[in-house]
Structure 1
Amino acid sequence: NRLTTTALFGHPQGERKVNYKLRDWGISRQRYWGCPIPIIHCETCGPVPVPEADLPVRLPEDVSFDQPGNPLDRHASWKNVPCPTCGAPARRETDTMDTFVDSSWYYARFADPHNETAPASAEALARWLPVDQYIGGIEHAILHLLYSRFFARAMRDSGHAAVAEPFAGLFTQGMVVHETYRAPDGQWVAPYDVRIEVKDGGRRAFLVDGDVEIGIGPIEKMSKSKKNTVDPDDIVASYGADTARLFVLSDSPPDRDVIWSDEGAQGAWRFVQRLWRLTGELGHVAAPVGAEPPAAFHDLALAVRKATHRSIAQASENIERLRFNSAIARIREFANELTSALDAVTETPVPADLAFAFREAADALIRLVAPMTPHVAEECWADLGHKGLVAEAPWPAADPTLLAQEMISLPVQVNGKKRAEILVAHDADEETIRKEALAQDGVQRAMEGKPLRKFILVPKRIVNVVV
């Protein structure tokens, strides 16, 4: 800014300029998988487009992959065709297009999938585009997003669509990472072949089948070349698919990397087991499915209902914002609250108000956890007496009257500017509010990794973060 506004001999010292690093995109590939390029090469006419009546070009299904190179180039009956213009012997283009050509605009086809005369109608694209939420790894940020935006602009400029940007929201998820291990001869060692020993506060790694010590390397993205991969089939066989899902979602925010550990997987497995046991205990004391609420609720029943609706509100908000780890943390707390409530039961059978509260709580618990652990959730749902699938059940809604005195909304400022708003219990302590405030995406972006200087809480009013 200083260079553009400060004049030297009557002229600015500098000017803003954008340097584009765009390059030509070579889309042809010498392989079978990909969109055929609709061109026929004729020695007389040169490159000739395939007639529109003959589109789309179909790849042959009787290809052989037993030799290196492009199998289409060796498929004589598909490759050799007459020229559409002069009828002389000609040959098809045997290169296929980069698969990014397919994936760069398929979202538009979803808007009008049964259209047989065009990729999609302008009316359908106007109704459905842009895509609300794009979810992809960081490696997509350069290639796929760039190509998709190119196609969106091409469709706009050619009159096929009205939008220039294909995606309204972008979420980049982290990756599952693992420690790396290396033998004395420099060879990478897989986690399955490693034995970890902890002694005097330090960790040492050895080969499983001996006492050969190996090096513990940095935590990196799982890759076959470094052998730091964990086979999903082994995880599912040992713990079940729900455990794997729960661990990956609960370990850290979804935009950060997940460090895979057997200890973390075992912790998730224990919670799945606990969820099953808790459902059984609640089923013994809960009112029947569809029971009418009593006229009044007393202390313990009211506390259970407030915990239920507080959990619905907080978990729903976190799921909506893609903060699955925070949603799972709230569900775990909810399970703890229900366990404490069961321990506090002194009458058998339980009073009608408490039985209704337990029914409401059990049903809400399973519906909240179902997106993360769908298989055990269906079993629990059936165990609670329901006939249909929990996947088809409506999402629970929080009762505002039960949240009125329980939850308060606090704006969160970073260096004087509002960056987020949090929903917390009205009696939450400062440490709880601090964790929730600092976990907000807007707050983290505003902090830019800078150290926290002050955390100022004005009770029930506002949170100020100073960096």
Structure 2
Amino acid sequence: TQGMVLKDGSKMSKSKGNVVSQEEIIAKYGADTARLFILFASPPEKDLEWSDAGVEGSFRFLNRVWRLAHYVMEDVKAKGRSVDGPIEKEMQYHIHSTIKKVSDDVEGRFNFNTAISAVMELVNETYKYMDMEYDHATMKEAVETILTLLAPFAPHMMEELWEILGHEGSVHDLPWPTYDLEKTVRDVVEIVVQINGKVKERLTIEREAGKEAVEKLVMEIEKIKSATEGKEMKKFIYVPGKLVNIVVK
């Protein structure tokens, strides 16, 4: 079934005088913004609540993508260096997990709203990466992935940005991006550290770290040292990749 378009809680209709002019929206924000907002605001089978603030938000997001592509334009065009450090591995995780998420949402479930949300998160991570001494090859992959994933939702802008980055041919003629399943799994994970079942700290560790290594890291945390000082440790429970619970008396 197809959901209805609502405005201020009521069905949008000429008789109620609450119709939004498509021509005005396109003239002010562009067709890509209108398309992106409609697909992002609600799944196709649900009612869509029209929101001027939501349209503004979609417009700002596309402007962020535009600025990102222009900021790194020369680096993306250049072949640059290729580094495989921990920062690059983390960025690879964001790139490939986003491709997987968007592919699953679009191809299997038609959940365009969550697919767009995933690309928004990738844009945020790419901006963070841009503030570091980034690897040009990794940045190139991140930006080009963003453009190809957004192409069905904002076709005009993505086509222009693809050309600006020095590519020949259309972004819409490209095959859909593929992901490396191994890169969709983080090398590091964040675990919760509890004392007697109460959360005291969070800790980032290597995914494959064993119990002894984790215990050593945990017991070096000042907050944990203070909380357990003078107490008898009854148990050190480690649930791999999830949590530590220290039982003290």
1:394 matches 2:175: yes
Question: Shift of the alpha carbon at 1:316?
Answer: 1.2
Deviating above 6 A after TM superposition, structure 1's stretches of 4 or more consecutive aligned residues are 458-461
SS in 1 for 2:103: helix
Q: Deviations over 1:225-282 (max 9, x none)?
A: 2221111111101110011111111112222111112111111111111110011112
1:178 matches 2:4: no
Question: Shift of the alpha carbon at 1:307?
Answer: 1.2
Q: C-alpha separation between the residues in 2 aligned to 1:173 and 1:460?
A: 41
1:271 matches 2:52: no
2:132 to 340, 344, 357: 344
Q: How does 1:426-445 map to 2 (within 5 A)?
A: none
Partner of 2:158: 377
Amino acid at match of 2:98: S
Amino acid at match of 2:92: R
Q: Structure 1 426/250 Cα, relative in aligned 2: closer, same or farther at 3 Å?
A: farther
Contact 1:253 1:324 in 2 (8 A): yes
More helix by share: 2
Amino acid at match of 1:391: H
Q: How does 1:22-101 map to 2 (within 5 A)?
A: none
Q: How does 1:263-342 map to 2 (within 5 A)?
A: 263-286=53-76, 288=78, 294=82, 297-320=84-107, 321-342=109-130
Q: C-alpha separation between the residues in 2 aligned to 1:282 and 1:426?
A: 29
Partner of 1:230: 20
Contact 1:378 1:390 in 2 (8 A): yes
Contact 2:90 2:186 in 1 (8 A): no
Contact 2:93 2:184 in 1 (8 A): yes
Contact 1:287 1:358 in 2 (8 A): no
Question: Shift of the alpha carbon at 1:405?
Answer: 3.9
Q: Structure 1 267/428 Cα, relative in aligned 2: closer, same or farther at 3 Å?
A: farther
Q: Deviations over 1:327-375 (max 9, x none)?
A: 1111111000000001122xxxx6xxx1110111111110001111111
Q: How does 1:144-159 map to 2 (within 5 A)?
A: none
Question: Shift of the alpha carbon at 1:292?
Answer: 9.7
Q: C-alpha separation between the residues in 2 aligned to 1:264 and 1:403?
A: 30
Note the residue ranges of structure 1 that are not aligned, 5 or more in a row: 1-171, 180-218, 407-424, 430-457, 462-467
Contact 2:80 2:136 in 1 (8 A): no
2:10 to 205, 216, 220: 220
Q: C-alpha separation between the residues in 1 aligned to 2:240 and 2:53?
A: 38
Q: C-alpha separation between the residues in 1 aligned to 2:64 and 2:104?
A: 24
Q: Structure 1 244/257 Cα, relative in aligned 2: closer, same or farther at 3 Å?
A: same
Amino acid at match of 1:363: E
SS in 1 for 2:72: helix
Q: C-alpha separation between the residues in 2 aligned to 1:277 and 1:405?
A: 28
Q: TM-score, normalised by structure 1?
A: 0.39
Q: C-alpha separation between the residues in 2 aligned to 1:333 and 1:234?
A: 29
Q: C-alpha separation between the residues in 1 aligned to 2:186 and 2:87?
A: 16
State the identity as a percent.
Answer: 38
Largest Rg, 1 or 2: 1
Q: Structure 1 292/402 Cα, relative in aligned 2: closer, same or farther at 3 Å?
A: farther
Contact 1:246 1:372 in 2 (8 A): yes
Contact 2:105 2:114 in 1 (8 A): yes
Q: Structure 1 427/394 Cα, relative in aligned 2: closer, same or farther at 3 Å?
A: farther
Q: How does 1:179-194 map to 2 (within 5 A)?
A: 179=8
Partner of 1:214: none
The worse-fitting range, judged by mean Cα deviation, of 321-330 and 220-229 is 220-229
Root-mean-square deviation over aligned CA pairs: 2.5
Question: Shift of the alpha carbon at 1:404?
Answer: 3.7
Question: Shift of the alpha carbon at 1:310?
Answer: 1.2
Question: Shift of the alpha carbon at 1:428?
Answer: 9.2
Note the residue ranges of structure 2 that are not aligned, 5 or more in a row: 193-238, 243-249
Q: TM-score, normalised by structure 2?
A: 0.71
Provide the aligned length of Structure 1 versus Structure 2: 195
Contact 2:98 2:119 in 1 (8 A): yes
